[in-house]
Structure 1
Amino acid sequence: MRPSGTSLHGLSASCRSKTLGASDPSEEYARTRRFYQARGFTPLEELDGIWPGNPCLLMVEALGRAAVR
């Protein structure tokens, strides 16, 4: 996980995580996705091409409003 900083408009901060996408039948990674969802992460998008042969699921968690500078 790594904080992504503020949004383009400086209104919110988020944390993002990448894990194996749900289109792969791995039960181990299904548990990983449930772990993240139980902690407030939301699946955003499944991407092909980041990890050749493996779908990459991008998950995000809103951290609240960021200070506008």
Structure 2
Amino acid sequence: MPDHPLPTKIPHVDNSLCQVCRKCVARKVCRTKAIVAIDPGEPPFIDGNLCYGCMACLPACPYGAIVT
């Protein structure tokens, strides 16, 4: 059983808005490290197994690339 409530919505990265920042602010604010970047030249994705829906990442992205 998770230590946190299960979210009703998991945010995701809108690839058309993501600027693939070298130092992604949204990744820094994610307490569960759910925003994962595999290829440095590609947008990250949000791992639904790690994200618990706190939504701290939404306002952190200056480009509005994280959406619900």
TM-score, normalization by structure 1 = 0.31
Greater fraction of residues in strand: 1
Question: Which protein shows a greater Rg?
Answer: 1
Greater fraction of residues in helix: 1
TM-score, normalization by structure 2 = 0.31
